[in-house]
Each structure stands twice: as structure tokens, then as C-alpha cells.
Amino acid sequence: MKKVNSCLMITLTAILLIPLSILLADEIKDSINDALQKYDQGDYSGAAGMLDYAAQLIRQKKAEQLKAFLPKAPDGWTSNDAATMAMEVAMFGGGSSAERQYTKDTSSVSVKIMTDSPYLPTMMMMMTNPAMAASDGGKLTKIKNQQAIIKYIAEVQSGDINIVVANRYLVTVSGTQVSLDILKSFAEDIDYTKLT
């Protein structure tokens, strides 16, 4: 009986010493390894499919990380759970995003952070060309040292703010039935230093 208990203790100790990362296989690495095996076997379509799958998983992981940068609801406001999206390269140009909706009475605000967005080059062109931004009804400004384009219609109390961060992220704050100051306050609640 002592021998059985000793063997059991040795086995349990050995299992506990195995890193958790080995016990819980990383689906992304597994997909990449599967792609390599398929490539070595000459199954190029299968290899490409597995790499596309791994890339999509990576975009999903990036989208989940973006949620941490969305601001919390200010006093008097309520917010829903943040939603994430990882877009397919073939269909939507790729990219990852996280978005949260905020409401207070009849007012609503949405904050969205995108990375690898197909819209980013267009927004960057507008940032460097004030005439282009103005022709679309926008006004160039800076928010927390970040270049921003504000489009706001006071008569209907709605608009949006677009901010390009480190040439990699596009932050969009849009709202209806809100003042421009409220829109700006949501944009200012994002930690751009940590985001970069």
C-alpha cells in the first residue's frame, strides 16, 4: 500500500511540475503547427486555411485586449458590456475592434477603438490635409496630444470625434443628443499613452 501511495504521489508531483501552457494547448500555435505539417505534405490549400484560421484567432485576441482601453461609464451614465470584432481580411480588409455604448436619459455615446483598420490610411490623409478634413465638415484639433478630427452639428446635438493614435489605432467617439463637451470628455478618458 505504501508503494502505491508513493507512486501516486510521484505521479501527481510530476503532473504539477508540468507548465500549465503545455497542459492547455495554445490553439494559435497548434494551428500554425498544423499549417506547417500540411505545407510539408504538399497540402498548400490546407496550410493556407490553417494560417488564415490562426490569423483570425490572433485578431480576436487583439480585439479582446482593446476592451481594457475603453473608458468606464461616467457618473450618471450606464454602459453595456464591450463588444469586440475581428474582421476577415478577405471580406472587410482585416482589423480588430472593441466598442462600448453609453447612455444617459435620451443621450447616447459610442466609443470604438480599431487597429489594423482599412479606414486608417484615409483618416491619416485627412489629418495631414486640413482642407480635406474641412471639405467633409470636420475640424482638426488635438485631444490629449493626439491629432483629432471633430464633426459636430450643434443644431441636432450629434457628431463624432476621430483620433489616430501612433499610426496604428483609430479611436471613434460618436454621440447623439449630447454636447460637444461631453463627446470630448469621453475622448479624453482614454489612456493614449498605454494604448500606444
12 burial level (CB within 10 Å; 0-12, 13-18, 19+): exposed
Partnered with residue 83 across adjacent β-strands are 99
Dihedral pair phi/psi, residue 78, rounded to 5°: -120, 155
Give the residue, 28 or 149, on which the prediction is more confident.
149
**Prediction pTM value:** 0.72
Domain boundary assignment for the chain: 2-62, 70-195
CATH code of the domain occupying 70-195? 3.30.200.100
Q: What is the predicted pLDDT for the residue at 93? A: 54
pLDDT grade, residue 23 (50/70/90)? very low
Q: What is the predicted pLDDT for the residue at 191? A: 92
Q: Do 33 and 46 meet the contact criterion of CB atoms below 8 Å apart? A: no
Q: Is the model's pLDDT at 132 over the cut of 50? A: yes
CB atoms within 10 A of CB 176: 14
> Residues 157-169: pLDDT tens digits?
999 999 989 888 8
Q: Looking at 14-18, 94-98, 164-168, which range is the least confident one?
A: 14-18
Closest by CA to 119, choosing from 137, 94, 142, 85, is: 94
Buried-state track 71-80, b at ≥16 Cβ within 10 A, e below 16 = bebeeebebe
Q: What is the predicted pLDDT for the residue at 75? A: 92
Q: d(Cα 124, Cα 167) in Å, to the nearest integer?
A: 8
Q: d(Cα 22, Cα 63) in Å, to the nearest integer?
A: 25
Kindly report the length of the chain.
196
